[in-house]
Amino acid sequence: MTQDNTRLKGAVRSGSDPKAFASIMANHEHSHLSDKYQFIPTTKIIDILAKQGWNPVMVQEKSVRKEDREGFQKHLIRFRQDSAQAIDGIFPEVLLTNSHDGSASFVFMAGLFRLICTNGLIVSNGMFGSIKVRHMNFQQQDVIEAVDRVVEDTPKLLEHVDIYQSIQLSRQEQYAFAESALNMKFKKEGSRFDNVKSIGETKAIYELEDRRFNMDTLLKPLRSADADSPSLWNTFNIIQEKFIKGGIFEDTVRPNANPLISPTHVSKVRGIKGIDESIRVNKELWGLTENMAQLKAA
């Protein structure tokens, strides 16, 4: 382990996956790969980024079904510059995914970390395309150039955040945004029913096949900073955090097979733990935010 990589465990946040270090620190590829595969350790990329002032702050690893893949699977690392200063409570980050089982090449993505909710965001491909660096014919300069592209685009990302903060949404526009977000997350389309009466209150309910979601609960801010105004930025962050970390915004009643037993009320939606699904939902939700901003501008 190099001197730079000895800092890996000490640098990551408490939200990291402790098991992920095995695949990140792998010193050879999976045995099923052919001799044509060029093994490039993730630790080498960490060293390269460290020399550019970027160090890991969070790591995550993909779950595997086959035991022989353990320690070689896809992993994700979020990097932040040592000298970085938060701008309006936001840190720009560089994200890297890689694997040592041949399932993924090096991919760099742009991200943001929001201090107020200790939550990481991933920018959509529409704003910043993922940069792939192949294992074959690997060149250190390719990594440096990929990181430089992220840095160059950071001002543009923060400008978009400013735009999202300035856009105010009506309640109906928030509902429309939340509906699109639910459709995207569950890959289904549903229908909204306003003013549904339930135990002395009215609700805005969104139905996705056999599941029901309370729109007002989904849009309810978790902290005072997001309650300041119904801006597009606040709305995006409220939904993003509840999708990624999980939250109580479902309102599904499932009848029991035994009529003598009361129906089951489901209120909590589980958070997202998988790397691929987290990246997908983050990117597509950012894309929805871009689309809403364009609609409001028009």
Report the 3 state secondary structure along 85-126.
CCECCEEEEEEEEECCCCCCCEEEEEEEEEHHHCEEEECCCC
Q: Quick check: is 164 in a domain?
A: no
Q: What is the pLDDT of residues 182-223, one digit of tens each?
A: 999 999 998 888 766 665 577 889 999 999 999 999 999 998
pTM assigned to the model:
0.86
Strands 211-214 and 201-208: antiparallel
65 and 207 fall within a common domain: no
Q: What is the dihedral of CA 248, 250, 253, 254, to 10 degrees?
A: -100
62 and 154 fall within a common domain: yes
110 and 152 fall within a common domain: yes
Q: What is the pLDDT of residues 108-138, one digit of tens each?
A: 999 999 888 888 899 887 777 678 877 777 7
216 and 148 fall within a common domain: no
Q: What is the pLDDT of residues 140-153, one digit of tens each?
A: 888 888 888 888 88
- State the Cα–Cα distance between residues 47 and 53, nearest whole angstrom: 10
3-state secondary structure of 168: strand
Q: What is the domain range of residue 45?
A: 5-159
Split into its structural domains, the chain has a count of 2
Task: Choose among 266, 171, 255, 271: nearest CA to 215.
Answer: 171
Q: Are 90 and 158 in contact (CB under 8 A)?
A: yes
Last residue of a domain, one of 159, 180, 196: 159
Residues pairing with 93 in the sheet: 111
10 and 153 fall within a common domain: yes
